[in-house]
């Protein structure tokens, strides 16, 4: 499908009509949309020199009696699962969002609020008598925990607009007014901040996420320390819906959001527990003299470096990494195998290193169920004609088949395809479980606040998985979220008038 067809079709129409354009999300122009589609459609660049450096001689054979690929022994089999033995929702939540990170958010939020108020005061007209800025008082960790309770309740009781949660009509929800006034909610959401803008000194792609980087680093550290995954882990993209103007917005038409901020994520395959992630901020260009950034373990392709950054702490432990053809290559597969990490995945058969016999296959001439496979000792590549030609790569699967059923008929399917389908869905499973409780669905929100809300949401899902694994009688996902919100609301009660007066005097 051409770009003009996309732009004139339902997807382009959706973006023109429902651009999410409120005060923080300006609508994209058609030129910006075209640029996004063109960047998204670009093939992953490959470096011929990289292939030569990293590939030992690949002597491909069709004789699988010489195939020596065996599954790696998973060294942490006895340690898998939660690293903390806790089931209480509030204790698990405050283990992630502890006082250190909360105190940092409080300090940055208060500083940003006073900076904004000071700048507004210097304008010719000053601050209007009716402005919300006149009502600002410094926030506290207790109040931010209360704000989190409001966010969780909002995701459990979906309304069309934020103001509806504080409405007083027939469909009123008085609980929200008891938790926090709508004026205070808007003030906190306006000033919620994570880093001092005056101290941001990074350049290039790192600067793009500098406003949220402390939270990203904190979550990656916490998620990794709280859980030891099973052997099978998977890498895939996740998309956070955002239709405003942002230079690194991506289009993935297979995702529910379709347009938004892309995350690369490493998840446990069977539970969807998020182990590590990074935010995609656009195509990175080499910086002069920055050879460390230009390559990673000798790889220069962007997709390979994503895999290796996400896997740095998980190499040499016997994991089986499952990923699709966006990331996979024969050279990357061999590198991972040499670092005691198995690989299962689909493969773009046109990529360098793929056996020539498979590269030149004519899909139209192949009969259905035809199989062509080659191996080079510890790496096996297999093409199987199903509805379309599917090519896979594995470090321990041979060309064995197993019976299956489709549309009531018996079929034979390669074991590697069966295992790929079984273990590839970790990120999609996570997204599916989050989709019922989206905190970040509201429009008119700064992009980094959307990312922050997504990370709050993912952290709740992660601790729910820990709760479920630790409990003999676990709560349902919805019950867990409701109990957590209630615990936050009860533990951190509303500020009294006397407390507000004290804060006002202190801030003065």
pLDDT one-digit tens code per residue, 35-63: 554 555 454 555 555 555 545 568 999 99
pLDDT at 300: 86
- Given this model, what pLDDT does residue 293 score? 54
Average pLDDT, the chain: 85
Q: Is 473 exposed, middle or buried (0-12, 13-18, 19+ CB in 10 A)?
A: exposed
Q: Are strands 320-323 and 232-241 parallel, antiparallel or unpaired?
A: parallel
C-alpha to C-alpha distance for 279 and 309, rounded to whole angstroms: 12
* Arithmetic mean of pLDDT, 182-196: 95
How open is the CA angle 219-221-226, to the nearest 5 degrees?
Answer: 95
Close Cβ partners of 425 (under 8 Å, ≥ 6 residues apart): 234, 269
Q: What is the mean pLDDT of residues 463-481?
A: 98
| Cα–Cα distance for residue pair 425/477, rounded to 1 Å | 19
For residues 206 and 508, what is the distance between their CA atoms, to the nearest angstrom?
36
Quote the tokens at residue 359: 């590269």
E strand or H helix that includes residue 478: helix 477-491
Which one is predicted more confidently, 121 or 316?
316
What is the widest separation between alpha-carbon atoms in the chain? 83
Separation between Cα atoms, residue 45 and residue 43, nearest integer Å: 6
Which range (169-173, 200-204, 272-276, 365-369) has the least confidence?
Answer: 200-204
Mean pLDDT computed over 244-263: 77
Residue 330 has pLDDT above 50, yes or no: yes
Q: Which of 313-327, 394-408, 443-457, 490-504 ranks highest by mean pLDDT?
A: 313-327
- Percent of the chain at pLDDT > 70 equals 81
pLDDT at 127 over 90: no
Across residues 183-202, what is the average pLDDT? Answer: 90
What pLDDT does residue 250 have? 78
Nearest to 240 by CA among 407, 55, 439: 439
The token pair at 41 is: 């459609």
Mean pLDDT score, 22-32: 50
Distances (CA, A) of 288 to 46, 74, 285: 20, 40, 10
With 0-12 / 13-18 / 19 or more C-beta atoms within 10 angstroms meaning exposed / middle / buried, residue 401 is middle
Query: Residue 128's pLDDT band (boundaries 50, 70, 90)?
Result: confident
Which ranges of 202-318 would DSSP assign to H, the alpha helix?
205-208, 213-225, 291-294, 302-311
Report whether pLDDT(323) > 60. Answer: yes
Query: What value does the mean pLDDT take over residues 232-244?
Result: 91
What pTM was computed for the model?
Answer: 0.85
Reported as a single tens digit per residue, the pLDDT across 403-444 is 988 778 888 999 999 999 999 999 999 999 999 998 887 666
- At 383, the pLDDT band (50, 70, 90 cuts) reads very high
Which pLDDT band holds residue 385 (cuts at 50, 70, 90)?
Answer: very high
Q: What does the block give as tokens for 83?
A: 């690293």
Phi, psi of 263 (to 5 degrees): -115, 140
d(CA 486, CA 479): 11
């Amino acid at each position: 499908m051409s770009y003009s067809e996309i732009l004139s079709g339902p997807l382009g129409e959706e973006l023109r009509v429902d651009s999410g354009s409120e005060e923080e999300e300006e609508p994209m122009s058609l030129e910006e949309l075209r640029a996004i589609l063109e960047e998204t459609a670009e093939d992953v660049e490959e470096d011929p020199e990289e292939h030569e450096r990293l590939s030992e001689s690949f002597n491909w054979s069709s004789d699988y009696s010489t195939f020596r690929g065996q599954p790696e022994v998973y060294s942490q089999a006895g340690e898998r699962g939660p690293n903390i033995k806790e089931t209480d929702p509030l204790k698990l939540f405050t283990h992630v969002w502890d006082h250190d990170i909360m105190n940092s958010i409080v300090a940055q939020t208060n500083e940003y609020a006073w900076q904004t108020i000071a700048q507004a005061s210097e304008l010719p007209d000053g601050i209007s008598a009716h402005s919300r800025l006149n009502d600002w008082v410094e926030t506290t960790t207790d109040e931010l925990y209360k704000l989190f309770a409001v966010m969780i309740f909002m995701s459990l009781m979906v309304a069309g607009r934020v103001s509806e949660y504080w409405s007083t009509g027939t469909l009123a929800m008085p609980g929200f007014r008891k938790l926090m006034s709508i004026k205070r909610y808007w003030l906190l959401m306006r000033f919620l901040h994570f880093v001092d803008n005056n101290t941001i000194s990074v350049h290039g792609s790192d600067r793009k996420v500098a406003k949220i980087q402390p939270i990203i680093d904190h979550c990656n550290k916490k998620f990794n320390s709280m859980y030891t995954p099973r052997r099978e882990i998977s890498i895939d993209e996740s998309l956070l819906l955002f239709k405003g103007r942002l230079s690194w917005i991506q289009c993935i038409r297979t995702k529910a959001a379709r347009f938004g901020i892309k995350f690369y994520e490493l998840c446990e395959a069977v539970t969807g527990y998020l182990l590590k992630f990074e935010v995609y901020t656009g195509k990175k260009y080499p910086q002069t003299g920055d050879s460390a950034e230009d390559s990673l373990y000798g790889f220069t392709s962007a997709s390979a470096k994503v895999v290796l950054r996400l896997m740095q702490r998980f190499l040499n432990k016997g994991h089986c990494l499952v990923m699709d053809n966006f990331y996979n290559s024969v050279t990357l597969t061999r590198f991972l195998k040499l670092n005691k990490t198995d690989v299962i995945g689909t493969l773009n058969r046109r990529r360098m290193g793929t056996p020539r016999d498979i590269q030149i296959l004519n899909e139209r001439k192949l009969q259905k169920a035809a199989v062509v496979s080659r191996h080079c000792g510890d790496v096996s590549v297999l093409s199987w004609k199903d509805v379309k030609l599917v090519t896979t790569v594995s470090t321990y699967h041979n060309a064995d088949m197993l019976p299956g059923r489709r549309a009531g008929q018996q079929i034979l399917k390669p074991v590697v395809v069966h295992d790929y389908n079984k273990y590839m869905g970790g990120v999609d499973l996570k997204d599916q479980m989050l989709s019922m409780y989206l905190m970040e669905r509201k429009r008119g929100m700064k992009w980094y606040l959307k990312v922050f809300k997504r990370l709050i949401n993912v952290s709740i899902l992660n601790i729910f998985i820990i709760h479920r694994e630790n409990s003999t009688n676990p709560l349902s996902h919805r019950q867990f979220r409701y109990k957590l919100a209630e615990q936050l609301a009860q533990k951190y009660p509303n500020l009294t008038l006397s407390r507000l007066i004290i804060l006002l005097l202190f801030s003065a």
